[in-house]
Amino acid sequence: MRVGTGYDIHRLGTGRPLILGGIEIPYDRGLIGHSDGDAVLHAITDAALGASGLGDIGELFPDDDPRFAGADSADLLSGAMEKVTEAGFRVGNLDVNVIAERPKLKPYKDKIAARVAEILKVKTSQVSIKAKTKEKLGPVGRNEAIEVHCVILLLETDS
């Protein structure tokens, strides 16, 4: 068994769709980033890379590389998972905390889990998505950003 953690934070800004966990969520602002800004998929990608000893998302997909400008983060996660699979690991389960003051994410948790499971090619029961607020504290609490933490358990493919 191998465990990995992932963390990401992106600023909220106008003129962008809000993409979280590979789905678009209706809101008047979106996450600013070189890619689509999907902090959920970025945190999962980093957790999986960390667990398998393959570095981090910034090494694989540099944010100054024009190839990844506006990238679909689902493609980045799929690309990382190919390397994780090649390294001999499969997903056991993952647990994700999405911390946002607004919008309220509770209505979207199941849809996000289903989409993440689809990208990872696992069962929805292996994916836990939890939505929290920051109790109005700090930049996330002021609704200037969305923060994500992920813990993932990987298993050796032949175990």
Binding mask 63-102 for Mg ion (x = CB under 5 A): ----------------------------------------
Residue nearest to Mg ion (CB): 42
Shorter beta-carbon distance to Mg ion: residue 97 or 124: 97
Distance in Å, CB of 9 to Mg ion, minimum: 8
Shorter beta-carbon distance to Mg ion: residue 8 or 101: 8
Q: How far is CA 43 from CA 14, 20, 157, in A?
A: 22, 11, 22
Question: What single DSSP character describes residue 67?
Answer: G
| Stretch in the footprint of Mg ion (CB under 5 A) among 1-9, 24-32, 64-72, 146-154 | 1-9
Distance in Å, CB of 111 to Mg ion, minimum: 21
Structure tokens belonging to residue 70: 């506006």
Distance in Å, CB of 158 to Mg ion, minimum: 32
Bridge partner list, 3: 153
Please give the size of the binding site for Mg ion, defined by CB under 5 A: 2
Within 8 A by CB and 6+ apart from 37, the residues are 10, 16, 19, 30, 31, 73
Distance CA 129, CA 111 (A): 10
Shorter beta-carbon distance to Mg ion: residue 10 or 115: 10
CB 20 within 8 A of CB 107: no
Pick out residues in 4-43 that bind Mg ion (CB under 5 A): 8, 42
Question: What single DSSP character describes residue 148?
Answer: E
Q: Contact residues for Mg ion (CB under 5 A)? A: 8, 42
